[in-house]
Structure 1
Amino acid sequence: MSITINESGMTFGPYAESTCFHIEKSPIYTHLGKDVKMVEFVLNRSTSDCEQVFCLVEAKQSSPQPDNPIDFSTFISEISEKMIHGISLLLAILLNRHGAHEEILPGSMRSVDLSRCKVRYILVINGHKREWLPPIQDALRTSLRSMDTAWNFGPNTVVVLNDEKAAGYPLLHPTRRTIETIDDNS
């Protein structure tokens, strides 16, 4: 079976059920309450050299521009918080801090060697111009650097894409839903 996730005007997937964890809709997350912020979903992907990579995916309709420093800083803080809470909850589940995870996590995530797995924080912004992406990626990298260093996740953990780039990205295959498509389905 496969999973598709509709978020921020985009359809992500389809993904094999064994590789996709819709963490934002999980019973554990919904039980935690409003103080814990969350990414949309987590993908477990293998690299060409058989490394396991947890991809934490957050989708947004828009973002403020860097020339609006207060809104931009708040946006970066909110996305960073979701990424940090996302990886923290995923690792807590894998370490059985919330009870057995067999019935919660997809099959491919249950047996990952945590000492060797990699992490990618992926932000997809629908309809964003390509030239607007680098400042967001740089700010998120700076914001998440201490987390990456503490966990030794390595460099280049942050990827910021618009819907067009995401459609061609090897980890994501969202289908852009245009306003016309949404209007036709209303």
Structure 2
Amino acid sequence: MLLNEQISPAGEADIPALNELVNSAYRGESSQRGWTSEGHLLGGIRTSEQSLREMFQNPSATLLKYVADGQLLGCVYLEEKKPDLYLGMLTVSPDAQANGIGKKLMAIAEQIAIDKEYQVIAITVISIRHELIAWYERRGFRATGETVPFPDDERFGQPKQPLEFIVMKKKLEENYDTEIKGDTQIKK
């Protein structure tokens, strides 16, 4: 059971810990303990301290961190890309997955979107990450039919096969009067 949980904006002082968290969840040996690993699809690192620093310099972006019992266990990147709020780099430590941290980060992201009067949250997911696509679908995201090429930039990793992203979106106006209970939506 996680105690003393807090979700708050991350700052530049968090960069080393965020870098370690994100890379441990997506690439390398430690990522194999969780279900979010991309190590079978991509070599190299998922992010770097320099890339994170650039995120903090973007005035349209916010990086939220999830801390419990003094440990950084999750994060999510939000960027205002009118007309949608873009959500990316949703990360949960491989050792803390299945504790509802991802759902909590998503709920805060949705509340931020609503507070900023966005009606849609957009994400991109590697098209062959079927289990991850299904996780987002259970949270109300739907594929738009749009695809985006995987960047030809080693800062994002070296693909082990051809990769592309699908664009998924969630309309928030449908959920204004909805409470989320686990994977079930209950109308109020």
Fold conserved between structures, TM > 0.5:
no
Q: Give the TM-score taking structure 2 as reference length.
A: 0.38
More strand by share: 2
More helix by share: 1
